[in-house]
Chain A
């Protein structure tokens, strides 16, 4: 014993792996705490009872059948972008350029609809849109991957910057395509509906949901059961090991980022061709960044990502409903989402680290986190 005067009040140390139920208990506690803080903030600002706040959050996603479909659509698109960034993350390649890759995919889709709308049959047009969006977004993602593989540039900064370039490109084409001069493309091909995806069973969002469901299984299989999936996780664990066992690291980086970009392109395609039929700088809507969280929280497991994207889509719909019902500025919804994300990210700290307080009796081994 060194005398309590020198012992700090608490210290932080890395935890060994927690059993799954404890780590999930911590995450659940974080969400509960986040919801309590959200309710407190809302109650203080509006005087509505906290229970009313929760009822409103649920109303945001389940209030009507249409709201439920919107939730599914939001879940599907967010999941699609998350699936896209996951292979790169597993490889420890921090692709935070999902936003830009989605936009470029969407821009390529919109360009096909705009230029070829009246020049080819619809089935062919949709095929061209699919190819164009996937190729464009894959190339967009391959650019930082190439630089990383060749010269080991910082992929975090590179992919982040590419987002802004993509936003400006979209903005530029909006100005080119809108010849009136108001800078807004509006709905593309409103009369001919050329390039609009077919609506299945009268449900406008069903096709997107089904496509993303198939993609989820595909990405899960790819990561878990294929040689490619194995190689990229080895590269992620240790590049040296990968080289030692004869994996061509540069090739894996490029290949994985092309896949990542291609899937982002699909998200852009589904947004522009499937539901929105327009393109603007807000088409991706920040999903490229939220997807990072979805993927991370689910520990890069595509099946768990269904749950985490549900959670984030549900909370964001709920926050928006709160803003609408209680007459608050719609930025208030963003504030609530921010509070919730803060707690969720914070919880990862408590899962990975233990905080040991100085106990009164200074008895070794009695401290519990």
Chain B
């Protein structure tokens, strides 16, 4: 017993020694952010930073900036891969140092990871997954001198913290364009006599049944139907962001049910590879899957997070106040489409996509035009969406204006969570 006690004592002493001489958190002197206005009203600041000018003006402070990133998965997930590549590009373009933390679950682990990054001297921290939000807010409250930027979240504009921000891009425009490419493919197959116009069923593998995914598949389907008016869609959910086996199985189920073309919003290669094996055309998300699926990959929409990250980093370095929400658009380069794979796509796809893209930017075509869809057989005249995500699950903001569902206008994250006619959610 005495020996144990002596050992414990030595241990405690050693601990005290360590704790005593523990290095103080690296102090970085950045310009103090402009004090947040007390009435921090919602601001949708989508201007991208001018990198060249920032590098010249902020040559003194930029090298002092350290950026931390929190990812739900690693490069095996297409969504995280897209985010990780953007992180590296944004940081190297500005010459700032960065730390990456992969495989951080959507729980208390996220708060711990954020705190670790603050400990290691990060001034600005990004997280990439929807479920990270509460823990990023917790960290933002705990570390008021560090900026926290959360992609896909919904709460920044109601939390009103000066150092917590949401970001998303109008990916519904990108998905609509990808849908146009899919519609072209359907028409081509109908013309070739592979199936009749009434059999133009498409399938969609979704992750979770909430607004971001619903807005995504609805916009994609509206894109498909703008080209192939007889198209209908079946959707199935995996309830996971990354589950290769489940996504593959879901895609195969849809194919067996007669789907002629598949798209997905789940992050593994499960659905694209299932399509390649079955010879079913596939529209991807988060980036090109042409290397693994040369015969079936048509096109992919993805969010280019680089302008968002650059804007946040540059403004943090300059001590400027950041908006609660940042929304990327087709125009500012945050919503992009990969090259069309000529081997799988219908002839003339690239030209048609370019034409519709110009129309979207010009505003002559609107994705959620209430003339193009019905809900329960009726045109949507009014809808209160749950924009202020206060845990009450009740809609409070009228989003139908000028014959359009105003997506990502009141906050960056999508809010379209209606089930429109023509889309069937199946239980598998």
- Is there contact, CB below 8 Å, between A276 and B115? no
Q: Is the beta-carbon distance between A182 and B116 smaller than 8 angstroms? A: no
Contacts of A278 in B (CB 8 A): 107-108, 134-135
Residues of chain A lying within 8 A (CB to CB) of residue B25: 64
A187 — which chain B residues lie within 8 A by C-beta?
A: 134-135, 137-138
Return the chain A residue nearest B154 by Cβ: A180
Q: Bits for B66-109, please: 1 = Cβ < 8 Å to A, else 0.
A: 00000000100000000000000000000000011111111111
Contacts of A271-310 to chain B: CB distance below 8 A: 271, 275-278, 280, 282-283, 285, 303-304, 306-307, 310
A251 in the interface (beta carbon within 8 A):
no
A327-B107 contact in complex given A67-B119, A68-B19, A184-B131, C-beta closer than 8 Å: no
- CB-CB under 8 A from A203, the residues of chain B are none
Binding stretch for chain A, among B56-64, B206-214, B356-364: B206-214
Give the residue name and chain of the B residue nearest to A70 (CB).
Answer: B112
| Cα–Cα distance between A237 and B131 once the two chains are bound (Å) | 49
Nearest-CB distance from A54 to chain B (Å)?
13
- Say how far A349's CB is from chain B's closest CB, in angstroms: 24
Which of chain A's residues 178-204 have a Cβ closer than 8 Å to chain B?
179-184, 186-187, 190
Q: A202 to nearest B CB, angstroms?
A: 12
**Interchain Cβ contacts within 8 Å, total number:** 104
CA–CA, A181 to B115, complex, Å?
28
* Closest Cβ–Cβ distance, residue B102 to chain A (whole Å): 5
Q: Assess whether B108 is in contact with A276, with CB atoms less than 8 Å apart.
A: yes
Complex: how many Å from CA A310 to CA B101?
Answer: 24
Closest to A189 in B: B391
Over the window 199-224 of chain B, the binary record of Cβ atoms lying under 8 Å from chain A Cβ atoms (1 yes, 0 no) is 00000000011111000000000000
- What is the interface size of chain B, counting residues whose CB is below 8 A from a CB of the partner? 46
Given contact pairs A175-B239, A180-B393, A186-B133, A330 touches B101 in the complex (Cβ within 8 A) = yes
Please tell me if the beta carbons of B104 and A190 are within 8 angstroms of each other in the complex.
Answer: no
Closest beta carbon of chain A to B186's beta carbon, Å: 29
Chain B residue at smallest Cβ distance from A285: B109
B426 at the interface (CB under 8 A from A): no
Q: Please tell me if B22 contacts chain A, counting CB pairs below 8 Å.
A: yes
**Contact, CB under 8 Å: B18 / A58:** yes
A residues at B contact (CB < 8 Å): 58, 61-68, 70, 175, 179-184, 186-187, 190, 271, 275-278, 280, 282-283, 285, 303-304, 306-307, 310, 320-321, 324-325, 327, 329-331
Add 12 more A-B contacts to A66-B115, A181-B210, A190-B134 (CB < 8 A): A61-B18, A68-B19, A183-B131, A186-B134, A187-B134, A271-B108, A275-B108, A278-B108, A282-B105, A307-B11, A324-B101, A329-B74
